[in-house]
């Protein structure tokens, strides 16, 4: 089995769900406590054992690249001021993985964004991280999928259960549960954002995928689908028929950081990890309870 070393983070979207905050700032740079949300994604990738990350960017996304680049003037300033811990925080994003970027020149959809990374990924399996999906887990969500891939050799995507009223916000998968592991699904059907009536199940795709490089041929053949965009889900549905595709009910808590409510909850979740901040939140809630 080829070892997984690379990942793609599509980050070319305009962030319209978050206007006006995202008028002049990439949504991936909005902070979760004191880190841009995309840093949490790259940290998950590094913790999962990923060595190289390709970020698919577009117009107005240069701050993302700057964030993962060295900043010698700032590092010097912090060193001279004796602020070593802060200096380490500034250096950290540069040390996580080897980073490259590729531009998606037109907003033709998530599937097209992944296809833009084809040359940089080459002929090896890779992980896709959708940066809106933040997952807090003991074992990084991507690592859980990589372990399934290592055991099966097939592409695998992260799944979670949602209510029927929410199916129209997600890719929805249906298939057969593996006889020896209730969390492993052999996917037979995959539909992008079906209505509650049309949804073949309530198993929603979360933005973590391990993909074999065959996906690129399927993406190249995929016609625009829902929203007139080239959908990764459609290419995966076609690939599932020929090569098989797995779903994994991952362990962990997922936050939709691309949604204002989900973003707020993500901030609370990560604030909980710093006792001083969590005390502040609790005091605030207590004093504002009706
Ligand atoms: C994308 C995918 C969808 C998936 C979702 C997870 O949709 O197309 O299949 O369920 O991410 O967050 P988006 O939310 O980018 O519209």
pLDDT at 2: 82
Residue range 6-287 forms a domain whose CATH class is alpha beta
pLDDT at 289: 87
In this structure, the residues whose C-beta lies within 6 A of any atom of ligand 1 are 110, 130, 132-133, 170-171, 192, 204-207, 233
pLDDT at 15: 85
Task: Give 172-185 pLDDT, tens digit per residue.
Answer: 999 999 999 999 99
Q: How far is the CA of 204 from the centre of ligand 1 (A)?
A: 9
Q: What Rg value do the Cα atoms of the chain yield, rounded?
A: 20
Residues 193, 171: contact at Cβ < 8 Å? yes
In terms of C-beta distances under 8 Å and separation of at least 24 residues, what long-range contacts does 68-71 make, across chains too? 68/42, 68/93, 68/94, 68/96, 68/99, 69/94, 70/94
Give the residue, out of 16, 28, 108, 130, with the most ligand 1 atoms within 8 A of its beta carbon, to mutate for a pocket test.
130
Q: How far is the CA of 209 from the centre of ligand 1 (A)?
A: 11
pLDDT at 1: 74
| Per-domain residue ranges of the chain | 6-287
Q: What is the position in ligand 1's atom list of the atom closest to the CA of 171?
A: 9
Q: How far is the CA of 87 from the centre of ligand 1 (A)?
A: 36
pLDDT at 35: 97
pLDDT at 218: 97
Closest CA to 142 of 154, 126, 123, 124: 126
Q: For residue 75, how many other CB atoms are within 10 A of its CB?
A: 16
Q: For residue 89, how many other CB atoms are within 10 A of its CB?
A: 13
* Closest C-alpha residue for ligand 1 atom 7: 170
Q: Cα 14 vs. chain centroid, distance in angstroms?
A: 16
Task: Give 71-107 pLDDT, tens digit per residue.
Answer: 999 999 999 999 999 999 999 999 999 999 999 999 9
Residues of the chain with pLDDT under 70: none
Q: How far is the CA of 231 from the centre of ligand 1 (A)?
A: 9
Q: How far is the CA of 85 from the centre of ligand 1 (A)?
A: 37
Q: Cα 145 vs. chain centroid, distance in angstroms?
A: 13
């Amino acid at each position: 089995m080829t070892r997984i070393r690379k990942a793609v983070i599509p980050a070319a979207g305009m962030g319209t769900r978050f206007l006006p905050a995202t008028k002049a700032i990439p949504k991936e740079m909005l902070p979760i406590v004191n880190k841009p949300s995309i840093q949490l994604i790259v940290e998950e990738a590094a913790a999962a054992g990923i060595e190289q990350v390709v970020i698919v960017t577009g117009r107005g996304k240069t701050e993302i690249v700057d964030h993962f680049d060295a900043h010698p003037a700032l590092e010097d300033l912090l060193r001279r001021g004796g602020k070593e811990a802060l200096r380490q925080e500034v250096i950290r994003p540069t040390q996580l993985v080897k980073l490259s970027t590729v531009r998606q020149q037109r907003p033709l959809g998530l599937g097209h964004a992944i296809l833009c990374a084809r040359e940089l990924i080459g002929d090896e399996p890779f992980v896709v991280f959708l940066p809106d999906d933040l997952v807090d887990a003991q074992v990084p969500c991507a690592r859980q999928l990589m372990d399934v891939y290592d055991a099966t050799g097939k592409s695998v995507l992260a799944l979670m259960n949602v209510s029927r009223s929410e199916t129209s916000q997600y890719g929805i998968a249906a298939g057969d549960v593996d006889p020896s592991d209730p969390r492993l699904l052999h996917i037979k059907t995959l539909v992008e954002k079906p209505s509650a009536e049309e949804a073949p199940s309530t198993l929603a795709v979360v933005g973590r995928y391990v993909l074999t490089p065959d996906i690129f041929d399927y993406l190249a053949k995929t016609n625009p689908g829902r929203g007139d965009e080239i959908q990764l889900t459609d290419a995966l549905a076609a690939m599932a028929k020929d090569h098989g595709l797995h779903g994994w009910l991952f362990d962990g808590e997922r936050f939709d950081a691309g949604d204002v409510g989900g973003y707020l909850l993500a901030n609370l979740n990560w604030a909980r990890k710093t006792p001083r901040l969590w005390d502040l939140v609790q005091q605030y809630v207590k004093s504002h309870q009706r």
